[in-house]
């Protein structure tokens, strides 16, 4: 079980408000909290002219405030000293989370870029991995709002969960190669009614049955020399692609 706090036995999974340890019960509680908050999350995002990192934090808090006492707090606040990975993916260093997400939001709010490369935007959002849990649903809400503003939507219900996650992993590992965009292209649609966004996201296959963050791993301390080398190599790879900043259009 993913236990970055080291107190699973005494406080339950990620210090959830119920002190619960059973994975099936936690999945149910998480999804109930998400469903309860998703319409409020979209209403708040709809009145924000320019989305910032603050809105990402607020979205997570809205979705999971009934589940976790740390809802709306990123890994820099909750677990600043540990490196978190999933499979082969090492998520961004806690101190660089905000920078990574802000770059994704910059790309996603360039309407032409978002319309052309929604997969790349999703990849950067996922790489940031701001929270200990609830990242997938939070990012899905943010990405859906960005897509709506760009005049598109993605038929997530028609995607294959395993194929999507495989493409997303490759996208995180190799940003800017168009890997996730190629996968998502057959599922691109025109924007849907704003009042349907919450229902659209809730019906996405896999959200209710998603695994918890227990498939995440704590690799060790961020001060470990081997991990520092991996972080440096990862950021250098991404810096090559970022040398020419993407324009931001109002």
Q: What is the pLDDT of residues 212-228, one digit of tens each?
A: 555 788 999 999 999 99
What integer pLDDT is reported at residue 223 of this predicted model?
95
Residue 248 lies in a domain: no
Residue 227 lies in a domain: yes
What integer pLDDT is reported at residue 207 of this predicted model?
66
Residue 249 lies in a domain: no
Are 140 and 204 a contacting pair, CB within 8 Å?
yes
Which range (46-60, 145-159, 160-174, 231-245) has the least confidence?
Answer: 231-245
pLDDT of 240 over the 90 cut: no
Please give the backbone phi and psi of residue 48, each rounded to the nearest 5 degrees, phi first.
-90, 120
% of the chain surpassing 70 pLDDT: 92
pLDDT of 244 over the 80 cut: no
Model-level pTM? 0.92
Specify the number of domains making up the chain: 1
Residue 26 lies in a domain: yes
Residue 131 is part of a domain; what is its CATH number? 1.10.3290.10
What integer pLDDT is reported at residue 208 of this predicted model?
57
What integer pLDDT is reported at residue 250 of this predicted model?
42
Selected residue with higher pLDDT from 210 and 22: 22
pLDDT of 153 over the 50 cut: yes
Pairing of the two strands 216-221 and 82-86? antiparallel
Q: Which domain, by its residues, includes 156?
A: 8-242
Residue 2 lies in a domain: no
Residue 243 pLDDT level (bands cut at 50, 70, 90): low
Give the CA distances from residue 73 to residues 2, 76, 149, 174, 230, in Å, rounded to whole numbers and listed in that order.
18, 8, 26, 28, 25
The tens digit of pLDDT for each residue in 36-65 reads: 999 999 999 999 999 999 999 999 999 999
The encoded tokens of residue 203 equal: 């019906």
Residue 204 lies in a domain: yes
Q: Following CA atoms 242, 243, 244, 247 in sequence, which dihedral angle do they give, to the nearest 10 degrees?
A: 40
Give the CA distances from residue 38 to residues 67, 199, 225, 245, in Å, rounded to whole numbers and listed in that order.
14, 9, 40, 32
Task: Say which residue the tokens 């806690």 belong to.
Answer: 94
Residue 161 lies in a domain: yes
Average pLDDT of span 163-192:
93
């Amino acid at each position: 079980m993913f236990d970055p706090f080291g107190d699973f036995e005494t406080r339950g999974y990620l210090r959830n408000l119920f002190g619960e340890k059973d994975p099936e019960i936690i999945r149910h509680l998480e999804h109930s909290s998400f469903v309860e908050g998703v319409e409020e999350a979209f209403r708040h995002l709809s009145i924000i002219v320019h989305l910032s990192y603050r809105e990402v934090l607020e979205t997570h808090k809205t979705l999971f405030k009934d589940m976790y006492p740390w809802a709306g707090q990123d890994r820099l606040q909750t677990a600043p000293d540990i490196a978190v990975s999933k499979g082969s993916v090492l998520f961004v260093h806690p101190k660089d989370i905000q920078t990574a997400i802000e770059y994704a939001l910059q790309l996603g709010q360039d309407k032409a870029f978002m319309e052309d490369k929604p997969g790349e935007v999703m990849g950067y959002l996922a790489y940031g991995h701001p929270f200990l849990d609830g990242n997938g649903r939070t990012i899905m809400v943010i990405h859906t709002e960005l897509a709506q503003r760009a005049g598109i939507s993605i038929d997530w219900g028609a995607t294959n969960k395993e194929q999507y996650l495989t493409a997303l992993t490759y996208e995180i590992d190799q940003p800017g190669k168009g890997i996730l965009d190629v996968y998502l292209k057959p599922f691109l649609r025109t924007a849907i009614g704003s009042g349907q966004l919450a229902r659209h996201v809730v019906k996405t296959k896999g959200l209710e049955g998603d695994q918890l963050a227990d498939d995440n791993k704590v690799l060790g301390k961020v001060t470990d020399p081997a991990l520092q080398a991996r972080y440096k190599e990862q950021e250098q790879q991404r810096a090559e692609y970022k040398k020419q900043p993407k324009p931001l259009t109002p």
